[in-house]
A and B are shown apart, each in its own frame.
Chain A
Amino acid sequence: MEVKMISKKSIKNKVSGTQNYLTTWIKSFSGSLTIFCLIILSFLPFFSQDRAYVSYFIPQFTFFFIYAIFAASWDIATGLAGQANFGQSIFFGLAGYIGGALIIEMGVPSWIAIIIAVIGATFIGFLVGIPALKIKGPYLMLVTLVLSFIILRVLATSHSGPPLYGYEGISGLPKLNPNPIIEYFILFISLIVCFIIMMSISKSKLGTILRSIRDDEIGSEASGINTMKYKLIAFMLCALFSGLAGIYFGLHYQTVNPAGNLSMTISFLAIIMAALGGIGTIRGSLVGAFFYVFLEFVLVEIGLDMDVVHIVFSIILLLVIRFASRGLLAPLLDRLRDLWDVLLGR
Chain B
Amino acid sequence: MSSLYAPTNEDVKQRLRPFGIFFEKSLKDLIKGIRANNETPEKLNHFLAQALSECREEANSPDFNLKTNAVLKLTYLEMYGFDMSWANFHILEVMSSSKLQQKRVGYLAASQSFYKDPDILMLATNLMKKDLKYTGTDDVVKVGIALSGLSTIITPPLAADICDDLFTMLNSSRPYIRKKAITALFKVFLQFPEALRDNFDKFAAKLEDDDTSVVSAAVSVICELSKKNPQPFIQLSPLLYEILVTISNNWIIIRLLKLFTNLSKVEPKLRPRLLPKILELMDSTTATSVLYESINCIVKGHMLEEDDYDVAMQCLDRLHTFCDSSDPNLRYISCVLFYKIGKINTAFISQFDKLVMRLLNDVDVSIRSKAIELIEGIVDEDNLQNIVLVLLKQFVDQDVVLLQVGGFETTREIPIFIPEQYKIKMVNAVIHICSMDNFANLNDFEWYNAVLWDLAILSQDLSDKSLGYRVGEQLRNIMIKVPSMREITMTTIIKVLYNEEINNHLPSILKDCFWSLGEFSSFIENGDDLINLVFQRRKYYPADVEIILIPSLLKIFSNWCNRSTDIDPERVKSVLSDLLSHFEPLCYSKAFEVQERAVQCMEFLKLASEAMEQDTEGLPLLLTDILPSFFNSYELKPISQGTQQKLQSCISVDCETPFLTEEELQAVLNQEENENDEGLFSEDLLLIDDSSSASYQNQDYDVPDESKANSEEPNVLDNEELESRKRAERESNPFYLSQNNDRTSKASTQLLDFSHREADEPEAHLIRLNKNTNGTEDETERKRKSKKKHKKRVHVLSDEVVVENKPQSPTLSIQSLPTNASSSRGKISLRMPTKLEKFDFSKPLVSPSHDGTSDARRQSTSGEQDELERLRRKFETQQLEANETLENGENDEETIIIKKKKSSKKKKKHSSSKKSKKKDSVDETPKVSNDTVI
Chains A and B bind each other: no
Interface residue ranges, A against B (CB under 8 Å): none
Interface residue ranges, B against A (CB under 8 Å): none
